[in-house]
Structures are given as structure tokens and as C-alpha cells.
Structure 1
Amino acid sequence: MLLLLLLTLAGGLAYAVLSLPDQTVGLSDRVAANMETSGVSNPVTAVLLNFRAYDTLLEMAVLLVALLGVWSLGSAAVHRRVDPEPVLLFLVGVLVPMMILMAGYLLWVGAAAPGGAFQAGSVLAAAGILLLLSGKHFPVRLPGWPLRLVLVLGLGAFVAVGVTLVFANGMLLQYPPGLAGGLILFIEAAATLSIGVTLAALFLGGRPDPEA
């Protein structure tokens, strides 16, 4: 039964791909025509955070649901702490601040060049995971409202902006041109923190233990 279902799914996907036209119109012209009102100069950021902000909003929700699914499996495994080597501590002390600066740079430059919240959040998560692997104490191990607040910060900022705009102009996530750049930066800053902490929390493989 499962094999039949997989074959049907594969056949449907193959038919959909083969049915695609050789040439598509695309939306690049429409994106270029509306860049001045997007609040940013990077077309990718304009699409993901303005023209199709719904997609990014749902991606943030999916990431949070994934973490809740991992937490539902139980507490994270407790690993025996060992004293890290001095060389490792030195490298962590050098690399982690650089990675945090890189995350900030990717967040800021995303408005005009490749970058943005997901790239910055991934680098921030890598810094946190490096701290975990080195045996350093990391706040993601501390359960409670501070951790949960950061986890929902990105999605909460997205929803708060969307609801505010509904009351302001009757349109969800329809930014006023004069405020678009600031609102996008606000959402991306909150999303960067949430993505970074969420990915680091996923690395733990379970719900943080209060006694860890």
C-alpha cells in the first residue's frame, strides 16, 4: 500500500514537471516595477518580506512547530561535561564574536544584497552550537519564559505588524511605502533571534532540562 502511494506521488510529480511550459512569463517584471515601494533594494528581500510576506510568515510558524514537535519527544539528553582543551576555548573565543558580527552584517545587508534573517539566524545558531560543543554554558539550556519569548519573537513580530496594518489600512502585511523599510528591518531583526535560538534548540534534540 505504501509503495503504491509513493509510486502515485512520484508519477504525479513527474507529470507536473513534464507539463510545465518551455517558457514562462514569470513575475520579475512586476517585481522590478514595484521595487520603489518595497522599502528595500534587494529583489529577493522585497519578495520574501513584502510582496509575498505570507510565505515567510508561514515558514516562521513551521520552524516553531518543528521545535515543538522535537520538544514533545521528551527532554534533551544530558551529556557528561568535560573540560575543553585550551586551544578549543581560544578558537571559540575568537570565532563566536566574529560569527555574531557576521550575523549582524547579514541581517543589515539583506535589504540591499544577499543576506537576511534566515542567513543571519543560521550563523547565530552555529555560534550557539559551537558554544554547546565546547562545553560552554548557553542560555538555550535554560527553560522558562525568557527562552520561549525569544522563540516566538520573530513570529510574534510578524503577526503584530500584520494585525496593526489590518487596523491601519485594512490590509494584512500591506506596508505603507514610507514605513516599509523600517518594518521589514524590525521583522527581520526579531526573526534572526528566533531562528538562531530555534535552530540551536533543535540541535539539543529535546526539551531543555531545568536541571541541566
Structure 2
Amino acid sequence: MKKTEPVNVVTGALILLLVVTIGIGLSWALWTLPDEAVGLSLIVRESMAQSGVTAEVTAILLNFRGYDTLLEIFVLLVALLGAWYLERMHLSPVDPEPGPVLEALVRVLLPFMIIISGYILWLGGHAAGGAFQAGALLAGAGVMLLVVGSDKLPLSDGIRMRSLLVAGPAVFTLVAGGLVLSGRNMLQYPVAHASSLILLIEAASTITIGITLTLLFAGGRPRRQDKS
């Protein structure tokens, strides 16, 4: 059996010094923080009238820092493409078959999960909620169907599936491009239409997030849709 060589004394000392230095730096940074940091909260509150929504988090994610959210949607899509590149989906029917109690529970919960997902999406305009929370709940419904049985949620690599996957990034990009063509900055919404545009982007993003997370749970690329 090959023995592992002990760490050199100099190397160990350097590692220890690095760890201690980082620890001291972080401790000093935390110690010197003011008791009440104003940050950008005051600027955000003053700009809420132009955001189109009354929820500060939604205003930041979809208006003031819309670039970040746009990139996050694309990152999620790229993550799915990476999973698809690795292998194809291998889903088989559940064995043993789910009992009547489980199937009845799914039938009861599924409509409520979809309705609550839509409610959380709408709620994001003036309270905690929005596309990511609604999309995660929608994905939970999809995962529940996959757990009960893969045939309950038919997944195929077709035009419909791909259209839903790119709905969020496509709508986000089209809105941004339309604003640029109208003479505004990218994602600088007109105040009169800011609320409607944000809701449109969030609705499309909810669908994309829900399907993407469901497919990531399933793992691999769905099989191609049979052409009839």
C-alpha cells in the first residue's frame, strides 16, 4: 500500500498563514461595518414610482437590475443543455405501480399547485413572489408526476418542448430589443407599461423555469418526438 507523503513544513505554514490572513480580513470587514448601513435602499424607495410594481425585490430583479435576471434565465437554460449533452433521459414506469391513495393525492394536489403557482406569479408585483418562486412550484408539480410515473408527464424532444424552454429568454430578449428600437435603453421600461411588461416577462419565465427544473430532475435529454 502506497503511503501518502507528509505535507512539507513550509507548505503547511504558508497554508496556515493564508487561512489566518483571510480569517483576520473577514473579521475586520465585519467588525467595521456600520450599525445601520443605508446602502441603495433609499435610492430604490425613491425610484419605486417608476418601476411599475410596488414590491422592492421585483422592482430590483425585473427593472433596476434586469440584466442580471436575464442572464440568470440564460444560465438556467445553459445548465439544462449541459445535462442534455451528457446523456439521454432514461425514465421507466414506476415499479411497483403507485397505489390508489398516492394517485388520488396527486389528482387533488396537482390543480392546487398550478393555481397557487399562478397566484404567486401575480403576487410578485406587490409582495413576496414572482417568476422564480412560481416556476419552482410548477416544477414541483412536474416532479410529482414523474415520481408517480413517467407516463403521467410525457416528455419528448419536439418543437413544443423547445418552444416552452426558450419562452422566458425569448420574451425577455424581445422586450429588451423592442425598447432599444423605440429609442430607450435596454430594459428601460416606459412607466405607463412597466407593470404589463414585467408581468409578461415573469409569466414566460415561470413556464421556462418550471419545465427546466423538471427536466433537470428527470436528467438527460428527452427522446425525439415520433413523426407521424
* TM-score, normalised by the number of residues in structure 1: 0.89
Structure-to-structure mapping, 1:11-26, within 5 angstroms:
15=25, 18-19=28-29, 21-23=32-34, 24-26=37-39
* 1:137 CA displacement: 2.3
Distance in 2 separating the partners of 1:164 and 1:8: 50
* 1:85 CA displacement: 0.7
Equivalent residue number for residue 47 of structure 1: 60
Distance in 1 separating the partners of 2:87 and 2:20: 34
* 1:81 CA displacement: 4.0
Unmatched segments (≥5 aa) in structure 1: none
Choose 1 or 2 for highest CA Rg: 2
Distance in 2 separating the partners of 1:162 and 1:10: 46
Identify the match of residue 128 of structure 2 among 82, 105, 114.
114
Identify the match of residue 197 of structure 1 among 211, 219, 227.
211
Distance in 2 separating the partners of 1:202 and 1:166: 34
Equivalent residue number for residue 59 of structure 1: 72
Q: 1:111 to 1:8 in 2, by over 3 A?
A: farther
Q: 1:95 to 1:25 in 2, by over 3 A?
A: same
Equivalent residue number for residue 77 of structure 1: 90
Deviations 1:68-117 (A, max 9, x none): 11111010123244432110110000001010011000000110110000
Question: Is residue 134 of structure 1 aligned with residue 144 of structure 2?
Answer: no
Deviations 1:33-81 (A, max 9, x none): 0111110010110010001111110110110010011111010123244
Q: Which runs of 4+ in 1 moved over 3 A?
A: 7-21
Equivalent residue number for residue 3 of structure 2: none
Q: What do you get for the CA RMSD once the two structures are aligned? A: 2.5
Unmatched segments (≥5 aa) in structure 2: 1-11
Distance in 2 separating the partners of 1:16 and 1:146: 50
Whether the aligned pair in 1 keeps the contact of 2:176 and 2:186 (CA below 8 Å) is yes
* TM-score, normalised by the number of residues in structure 2: 0.83
Moved more, 18-27 or 7-16: 7-16
